[in-house]
Structure 1
Amino acid sequence: MSQQENDDLIATQTEGYKVGQKKNIQELQQLDSNDESLNKWKASLGLDVAKVRFPENPQTVIVQALVLKADGHEIRMDVSTDEAVKRLQENPVVIKEGVDYTFKIEFVVQREMVTGLKFLQQIKRMGISVEKMEEMCGSYGPKYENQERTFPSSKAPSGMMARGTYSIKSKFVDDDNNIYLEWTWSMDIKKEWE
């Protein structure tokens, strides 16, 4: 069985696309270093210095939170630590049936530039996939501040048969298939907000 068959959340690959050779901050700074406008542009991307917000964490991308927005409600799901992810797994997120909702992911990029960040998510009900999304987030330079990406909205299912618990698997990866965070959680769709 191939890895594709074992893992429902594999980023799609564009035929013919080849990921470029990874360059560190110093190499990027030296490229066309005599071009003043290019140097200003690189500095605006955060390529003037390898910023590190969490020195104890060796990862380049650190996911802070997944935020669900729906019907005037905002549910912030902390995923910044293993303990926070465990709490999220134990406490389903409740949303009202039929509402339009969207996700926003908040993350920190440190040390190096990261290319082709993607957010993958699969929603299942009773083991059957009901929705799968793959959203390109883009490429980011290191910053001390949180960076974020909001995704297009979806509509929660409605009706008596749609109410219940949905299991969700989320993953944040880059072009080099580095997995920065992969976690599972659940969402309860109910008749009303609780």
Structure 2
Amino acid sequence: MSLAVEAVSSSSNMILEDNIDKENNKKEIEIEENCEEKKSIKKSGSESSLYETEDEVEGEEDAEDNKIELGPQCTLKEQLEKDKDDESLRKWKEQLLGNVDINDVGGTFIELLEPEVKILSLSIVSPRRSDIVLAIPEDGKPKGLWFTLKEGCRYSLRFSFQVRHNIVAGLKYTNNVWKTGVKVDNTKRMLGTFSPQQEVYTYDMPEETTPSGYFARGSYSARTKFVDDDNKCYLEINYTFDIRKDWATIE
């Protein structure tokens, strides 16, 4: 009797252990499949990021800028009349508007909503040489090579521009540079907020040094933009330039 009970008990234990092993194997297979699936997803995501185009990168930057929510625009006349009793605001407006002569520019000037910013010239300034003043084509696409920089030289960019009709808030300069399709530089610079005036504004960028060496020399493509806080673009230039052993010969 006891032998029969032991045999049944032993047989039951073997079946139970066999079921447990099967369940464990099933769970291990499921875990391995999930891991492989996650690896596949991760790999797919990393591969797609390697093939981003210039337009896709630019689109992401524009999307970030569009997230900023700004208040309604006011004409210059409305801004001058607003909060007249606030002494601190009045002084701030006087400091901001500074050289604006309402009587000189005429009544219609201060009733326009949109500011007008015109980039008049771009210059490359480098020690011990004449400035390179770049002509800006109306379509923003200079034909052929726009300029040449000497490798390892110190230089800075100088912008001259005019603001009319209204205050331009948060004017900024952005510049992206590619070499053989690979982005090698991404510059963003806040220029500031500017009031309308007859005089021309001049802005000097911080001094930089061009890269040097065999791999630095060659042709580059670039995209420069001037935009404000409303993401309104006043100028976009798509161009090519070279870095060489020496400056280009002036003919």
Normalising by structure 1, we get a TM-score of 0.80
Letter paired with 2:163 = V
The alignment status of 1:31 with 2:85, answered yes or no, reads: no
Identity of aligned residues (%): 25
Shift of 1:28: 0.9
CA change 1:9–1:163 in 2 (3 A) is farther
Hey, what does 1:77 align to over in structure 2?
Answer: 134
Q: Equivalents in 2 of 1:49, 1:23: separation in Å?
A: 19
Gaps of 5+ in 2: 1-51
What is the count of residue pairs matched by the alignment?
185
Q: 1:101 aligns with which of 130, 145, 155?
A: 155
More helix by share: 2
Hey, what does 1:21 align to over in structure 2?
Answer: 72
C-alpha contact (below 8 Å) 1:166/1:188 kept by paired residues: yes
Q: 2:118 aligns with which of 62, 79, 84?
A: 62
CA change 1:192–1:31 in 2 (3 A) is same
C-alpha contact (below 8 Å) 2:96/2:195 kept by paired residues: no
Q: Equivalents in 2 of 1:50, 1:169: separation in Å?
A: 37
Q: Equivalents in 2 of 1:72, 1:25: separation in Å?
A: 43
Hey, what does 1:125 align to over in structure 2?
Answer: 179
Cα RMSD (Å): 3.2
Shift of 1:157: 1.1
CA change 1:39–1:127 in 2 (3 A) is closer
Q: Equivalents in 2 of 1:184, 1:9: separation in Å?
A: 18
C-alpha contact (below 8 Å) 2:125/2:132 kept by paired residues: yes
Q: Equivalents in 2 of 1:129, 1:19: separation in Å?
A: 31
Gaps of 5+ in 1: none
Which structure exhibits the higher relative contact order, with contacts defined as CA atoms closer than 8 Å and separated by 6 or more residues?
1
Shift of 1:49: 6.3
The alignment status of 1:136 with 2:190, answered yes or no, reads: yes
Q: 1:113 aligns with which of 167, 188, 191?
A: 167
**Bigger Cα Rg:** 2
Which one is further off, 42-51 or 91-100? 42-51
SS where residue 103 of structure 1 aligns? Answer: strand
Hey, what does 1:175 align to over in structure 2?
Answer: 229
Letter paired with 1:30 = E
CA change 1:51–1:130 in 2 (3 A) is farther
Q: Equivalents in 2 of 1:185, 1:160: separation in Å?
A: 22
C-alpha contact (below 8 Å) 1:47/1:141 kept by paired residues: no
CA change 1:184–1:42 in 2 (3 A) is closer
CA change 1:124–1:181 in 2 (3 A) is same
Q: Equivalents in 2 of 1:43, 1:96: separation in Å?
A: 40
C-alpha contact (below 8 Å) 2:115/2:166 kept by paired residues: no
Measured against aligned partners, the alpha-carbon deviations of 1:33-84 in whole angstroms (never above 9, x if no partner) come to 35574564354153746949xx9xx8611111111112333111122x416x
More strand by share: 1
